Structure 1
Amino acid sequence: MINIKPGVFASIISALLVTASTCSLLKAQNRQETSLESPDHKTKIELKLTEAGQLSYQLKFNGQRVTEWSLLGLETSGPVLSNGIRIESHNKTKHKNSFDWPLGEDKRINNVYHQLVLHCKSSNAKFDLVMRAYNGSFGFRYIDKDIGIVKLHRELTEFNLADSYDIFQYHEESIFRRVSLNDLSGICDLPATLVSGKKLYISIGEAENRNFTKCVLVKGQTPNSLKFNFYTDTIYKNGKIQSINKDSNVGFRDSLISPWRTISCSTTAIGLHEFSQLNLKLTTPLTNEVPLNIKPGKVFRVPVTTNGGIGGIDLAKKMNFQYIMFDAGWYGAEFRTTSDPTKAIPELDLPKVIEYGRVNGIGVILYVNYVGLKAKLDTILPLYKKWGVSGLKFGFVDGGTQSGLAWLDTAVKKTNDYGFILNIHDHYKPTGLSRRYPYLLSQEGIRGDENSPDAFHNTVLPFTRFIAGPADFTFCYPNAANAFSKNIKVSKVQQLALTVIYFDPLQAIFWYGRPEDYNTNDPDLQFLKAVPTVWDESKYLKGDIGESICVARRKGEVWYLGSASGLIPLSTELQLSFLRKHTSYTATIYEDDGNNGVKIITRKVTSKDKLPVQISEKSGQAVIVSPTL
């Protein structure tokens, strides 16, 4: 028997462990494999190279596979970024920071993630694949800073899901259709929401798309799979469209930086709200300071006349709105090149209205169509600043092509630099650029009251489109003169509740209304007077896609609660444990009276109480919870 002293034995064991670890590491490097875990270790991304040298990934959440092995890569006219790849080196880093965001759903955002950068090499290129793991989310982008001039043929990113899913399919401002992923025909916009039979909810999205192109999801080659296609950037030859995956018009000079591609997972529908600020976290800001003079608020879209503007300002002041807006037509027919956005039509004395607004503390926002923007953006920005205009609304921009998105990025920056608040309308959806250009408060990209959405649609939106960021829903709140029955398919109180449920720093409330038709003393309008548009804290309490949604948001010491039902009644209780302990509150509750009206009741509550929500289909409940004086 050989006698080994305890200290020597420990050294031998330690050396063996180090040797085994080194061999394991070398073996993994030879296989070109690596992995990345989220801070809570529940989200794991595994990466490897296929035999053909193609990058592939597999995502796991809570120990379960979300995706099978799925390909990554880009196919270009020059650098090979899709096969024959080797991982030369990689580095992992941990990040934990936060930033103030007074223009959002929470006034401070925690940004905690683990990052992996793969330094890759192919036969004629070097590039990086940057990956981030958040709790519940995985994001990645491609970076090649030395490419010369190239065309991008297609993006190879796959999402080969490990289970059967339904997808909530939509495009731009369309309705939603819940369809089996394997039965998907056509395209689905980003962000896309999917749910499995095992109740795993997935959101696939993108962040920081500044000069790429619009990508959409289509059914992949294998069951339960999705892949990207370019939407409008294609080449036409002899009057026929070529393969959407080939001969694209997407080009880059000197460097190629793709948008972030993201996939987020939750075991509940309301858990998807955790990712509604992911795009902001992934977007690189120009500065960490948010200008203090940015003023979010509620907007009244007024008739395009002098009297319409003056009357609108009077109503806005009484309603505690911050802006009026002159929409299309204030400078003539919006699509005509002869219409001049430097001159108002004769029926509108714009200087008079702007001055009246200044005296009364109400800002004026002006709409300008893409035709006018492209022709005269550099002219109107200094001119509108001289006039005293507060903000702009861009109309019918090109959000589908690389050239359109690149122009838009430049235009938004210029508008931001002049200090104009901005709302981009029609089909454009956010990718987090408000973090880079904080004067960009809102955008449409949603089927709002203009297009007569139903209660199913209204209760799908919080779990789908709103995961990408704020949206202008263009509320058509009814009045004594007009019920807007063509536009509104839900109760009045659901309309009130949706101003809390839907996040929008620049909320348009009376979209088709006239100033003279609203009685600002009506009891239900007191809710719209009070409700803010940005928040200190937000919580999604209960709900499921297309069925119901209950949200609580805080501004200062006051909480606002919004609950909405879909096409079936909602019966539940909301635990008020988020209220400050040992404090008495007064809850002012707005409910439907069953006769197209609103009833208002009050009750005392504390953090120990539960608030009952008993509402019929297509209905709602809106609540203001204030500390009792």
Structure 2
Amino acid sequence: MRKIFFYLSLGLFFALCAKPAYCYQNNSFAAYSPDQKTSFEIKVDENKNLVYRILSSGKIIIDWSAMGLVPGQKLLSKQTKILKTRAREVDERFAWPYGERDSIINHHNEITLDCRATDVKYTIIARIFDGSVAFRYALVQKKSTTPATIVDEATSFNLPGQFKVYQYNQESVFTETAISEMTKTSDLPSTLVGEGIYISIGEADNSSYTKAILKKAEGQNTLKIGFLKDSVHTTPSFQTPWRTISFSRDAIGLHQFSDLPLRLVDAKPAGATNWIKPGKLIRSSLSTQAGLDCIDFAASHNFQYIMFDAGWYGPEFKKESDATKVIAAIDMKKVIEYGKSKGIGVILYVNRVALQTQIDQVLPLYKSWGVAGLKFGFIDGLSQSGIKWLVSAIEKVYQHGLMLNIHDNYKPTGLSRTYPNLLTQEGIRGNENNPDAYHNMMLPFTRFLAGAADYTFCYPNSNRNFSDNLLKTKLQVSKGQQLALSVIYFSPIQAILWYGNPNDYKNEIETEFFKLVPTTWNQTQYLKGEPGKFVSVARRKNDNWYIGSACAEDRWEADIRLDFLSSGQKYKMTVYSDEGQEIIKSQQVIEKDFLLPIRLAPKSGQAVILEKQ
């Protein structure tokens, strides 16, 4: 790992225009990315307001836009003076065994500006990556004064021309909307599309803020940060989350920034984390025998976990339900011990109602039972108090050596870097909510840019009543698309065969791919894709590659050159594709540069395994 730090006085900064990384000219401070193509400029304008813009190779990505916070009735960027600047370069690579690639490169140039607005001091920190910019605010407050309450954020995004946004909220569908006509808010991350450019606006390191959203601002093509529910109560030493702006000439190029939140969050001091083990799980019905059956299925199909979902300790929303006591239908000790004999862990669901009153009691108890991890349900990821409580709960779960999956409205902001036991979360419209093929083809270019998501894959089986109901209420796409999505969608804990009885999955050709597909990866490449239309993703685990391709409402045909394979090496290619209502399997031997034919009917998909010979 290499880190380079250097600090500059304001006067010395002025003289650096000959150096490509940092510059002062035309009354603006400018910082450049390592490849010198991305620039972040910041200045005090003629009205003494702090503004910024972002360029790529001289082309404007974000035009001059407002910055600042609004503590009380005061805009914290008016009458601003820049007092001091500091700069540094960071160039590091860190291992990440829980991700889409086994290591993450974190190379950026950073500029810090100490500012004063009237009688308030604050700091802006900006990090400039190749193709991306992140910045945040820090307040400098005396301990003797009353901490400020932030009622709004002035951060805006003035777009150079007409753009559309794929608008959504929490677990909703996506609506393609012209920004000039936007009336609803949109969650972070949001993806914007203009002429020849794709932009993702997101956030990172939200551990004590409120939920932020994007809303229309003054100006035809301008957005700004807003708060969904509440104001933000600060502390003497307070930082906002990072605001991130990433861009690419094509949609698949945005994926390179899906690990940006991890790059922006600090890691914990090194410690033993060998108990954190990603894997696949199957959901059990609420009985002892169902748990044992799921364990047998998991052991024979290369799953690593089973889960008892809501109801194992009683009705989840009743305060009388005690999360330390198991319902009579489940012999938890027997199930956990049987799972251990088969190498299968047990994950338990706990609702927020019980967590808020019993978390300090249940964590050591579950650890003594031999539980592998928890799934939090119906947490509050929308308010400052909810997010602060949640982060404290994540810390406690980590200290007790339990893995964690957070469900419902919470979306990730990179905190897994600090708490690697936080393997996945929902914050997505998954199979429980009957998404259509268009929605499925939106997710890789929107929500998954924030990090892992638990989609809860449903899949038909031999039980006619179950499958008919599934196709009516949960599943609008083909079986082949479900197989493909298990590669396309990233989640270190992947819930598969949701709602199904393991004894009803008797077609081994169909379940074989789920048996073989991993949940974490050494390398990932997005091959082709357009939001809401189609996508093809290749991922490598050890020597083998897995490719998932899928489409929305229209047929998709393409030939994809497999130029990422090793030269001079043969691979056995196994293809799982739709044939009517069934999955067919075919095999052949291929080499590097093979043209993979994609011939997909509407709402279908194809899954491929390439095994090194």
Query: Which TM-score band applies after superposition, normalised by the shorter structure?
Result: over 0.9
1:517 counterpart residue number: 504
Task: Output one character per residue of 1:363-383: Cα deviation in whole Å (capped at 9) or x when no partner.
Answer: 000100001000000000100
Distance in structure 1 (CA, Å) of the matches to 2:37 and 2:17: 23
Task: Output one character per residue of 1:330-356: Cα deviation in whole Å (capped at 9) or x when no partner.
Answer: 001111110000001111111111111
Taking a change above 3 Å as real, the CA distance of residues 480 and 288 of structure 1, as seen in their structure-2 partners, is same
Match of 2:381 among 393, 396, 399: 399
Q: Displacement of 1:22 after TM fit?
A: 5.5
Tell me, yes or no, if the aligned pair for 1:392 and 1:421 is still in contact at 8 Å.
Answer: yes
2:403 counterpart residue number: 421
Q: Which moved more, 1:365-374 or 1:46-55?
A: 46-55
1:175 counterpart residue number: 173
Taking a change above 3 Å as real, the CA distance of residues 195 and 116 of structure 1, as seen in their structure-2 partners, is same
Distance in structure 2 (CA, Å) of the matches to 1:213 and 1:254: 17
2:561 counterpart residue number: 575
Tell me, yes or no, if the aligned pair for 1:94 and 1:115 is still in contact at 8 Å.
Answer: yes
Q: Displacement of 1:291 after TM fit?
A: 1.6
1:350 counterpart residue number: 332
Match of 1:127 among 122, 125, 139: 122
Distance in structure 1 (CA, Å) of the matches to 2:557 and 2:387: 44
Q: Displacement of 1:608 after TM fit?
A: 2.6
Displaced runs of 4+ in structure 1, greater than 6 A?
A: 28-31
Number of residue pairs the alignment of both structures matches: 590
Match of 1:162 among 160, 163, 184: 160
Q: Displacement of 1:516 after TM fit?
A: 1.7
Q: Secondary structure in 2 aligned to 1:434? A: helix
1:617 counterpart residue number: 602
Tell me, yes or no, if the aligned pair for 2:480 and 2:607 is still in contact at 8 Å.
Answer: yes
Match of 1:218 among 200, 206, 215: 215
Q: Secondary structure in 2 aligned to 1:317? A: helix
Distance in structure 1 (CA, Å) of the matches to 2:221 and 2:24: 31
Q: How does 1:94-493 map to 2 (within 5 A)?
A: 94-147=89-142, 148=145, 149-196=147-194, 198-233=195-230, 248=231, 250-288=232-270, 291-481=273-463, 482-483=466-467, 484-485=470-471, 486-493=473-480
Q: Secondary structure in 2 aligned to 1:378? A: helix
Taking a change above 3 Å as real, the CA distance of residues 288 and 574 of structure 1, as seen in their structure-2 partners, is farther
Tell me, yes or no, if the aligned pair for 1:88 and 1:119 is still in contact at 8 Å.
Answer: yes
Q: Displacement of 1:290 after TM fit?
A: 7.0
1:601 counterpart residue number: 586
Taking a change above 3 Å as real, the CA distance of residues 566 and 372 of structure 1, as seen in their structure-2 partners, is same
Q: Displacement of 1:441 after TM fit?
A: 0.2
Q: Displacement of 1:511 after TM fit?
A: 0.9
Distance in structure 1 (CA, Å) of the matches to 2:243 and 2:550: 31
Taking a change above 3 Å as real, the CA distance of residues 123 and 229 of structure 1, as seen in their structure-2 partners, is same
Q: Displacement of 1:75 after TM fit?
A: 1.1
Distance in structure 2 (CA, Å) of the matches to 1:287 and 1:67: 37
Distance in structure 1 (CA, Å) of the matches to 2:172 and 2:345: 32
Q: How does 1:486-505 map to 2 (within 5 A)?
A: 486-505=473-492
Q: Secondary structure in 1 aligned to 2:292? A: helix
Taking a change above 3 Å as real, the CA distance of residues 213 and 537 of structure 1, as seen in their structure-2 partners, is same
Tell me, yes or no, if the aligned pair for 2:55 and 2:61 is still in contact at 8 Å.
Answer: yes
Tell me, yes or no, if the aligned pair for 1:570 and 1:615 is still in contact at 8 Å.
Answer: yes
Task: Output one character per residue of 1:564-593: Cα deviation in whole Å (capped at 9) or x when no partner.
Answer: 011111111111111111111100001101
Q: Secondary structure in 2 aligned to 1:175? A: coil
Distance in structure 2 (CA, Å) of the matches to 1:188 and 1:572: 33
Match of 1:44 among 32, 39, 44: 39
Distance in structure 2 (CA, Å) of the matches to 1:395 and 1:596: 34
2:612 counterpart residue number: 627
Larger Rg: 1
Tell me, yes or no, if the aligned pair for 2:131 and 2:248 is still in contact at 8 Å.
Answer: yes
Q: Secondary structure in 1 aligned to 2:573? A: strand
Tell me, yes or no, if the aligned pair for 1:213 and 1:402 is still in contact at 8 Å.
Answer: yes
Q: Displacement of 1:130 after TM fit?
A: 0.2
Tell me, yes or no, if the aligned pair for 1:80 and 1:123 is still in contact at 8 Å.
Answer: no
Distance in structure 1 (CA, Å) of the matches to 2:489 and 2:501: 24
1:506 counterpart residue number: 493
Q: Displacement of 1:455 after TM fit?
A: 0.6
Taking a change above 3 Å as real, the CA distance of residues 510 and 50 of structure 1, as seen in their structure-2 partners, is same
Tell me, yes or no, if the aligned pair for 2:50 and 2:66 is still in contact at 8 Å.
Answer: yes
Distance in structure 1 (CA, Å) of the matches to 2:200 and 2:124: 21
The residue type equivalent to 1:626 in the other structure is E
2:8 counterpart residue number: none
**Are positions 1:61 and 2:56 aligned together?**
yes
Identity of aligned residues (%): 45
Tell me, yes or no, if the aligned pair for 1:99 and 1:288 is still in contact at 8 Å.
Answer: no
Tell me, yes or no, if the aligned pair for 1:80 and 1:124 is still in contact at 8 Å.
Answer: no
Q: Displacement of 1:477 after TM fit?
A: 1.3
Tell me, yes or no, if the aligned pair for 2:17 and 2:25 is still in contact at 8 Å.
Answer: no
Task: Output one character per residue of 1:206-238: Cα deviation in whole Å (capped at 9) or x when no partner.
Answer: 0000000001111111011101111011xxxxx
Taking a change above 3 Å as real, the CA distance of residues 343 and 100 of structure 1, as seen in their structure-2 partners, is same
Q: Which moved more, 1:59-68 or 1:560-569?
A: 59-68
Tell me, yes or no, if the aligned pair for 2:123 and 2:140 is still in contact at 8 Å.
Answer: no
Tell me, yes or no, if the aligned pair for 2:283 and 2:307 is still in contact at 8 Å.
Answer: yes
The residue type equivalent to 2:89 in the other structure is K
1:236 counterpart residue number: none
Distance in structure 1 (CA, Å) of the matches to 2:24 and 2:434: 56
Q: Displacement of 1:31 after TM fit?
A: 7.0
Task: Give unpaired runs (5+ residues) of structure 1.
Answer: 1-17, 234-247
TM-score with structure 1 setting the length: 0.91
Q: Displacement of 1:133 after TM fit?
A: 0.5
Distance in structure 1 (CA, Å) of the matches to 2:478 and 2:451: 25
Q: Secondary structure in 2 aligned to 1:271? A: helix
Tell me, yes or no, if the aligned pair for 1:395 and 1:426 is still in contact at 8 Å.
Answer: yes
Q: Displacement of 1:281 after TM fit?
A: 0.3
Distance in structure 2 (CA, Å) of the matches to 1:288 and 1:155: 35
Q: Displacement of 1:199 after TM fit?
A: 2.4
Q: Which moved more, 1:204-213 or 1:521-530?
A: 521-530
Q: Which moved more, 1:119-128 or 1:474-483?
A: 119-128
Tell me, yes or no, if the aligned pair for 1:78 and 1:151 is still in contact at 8 Å.
Answer: no
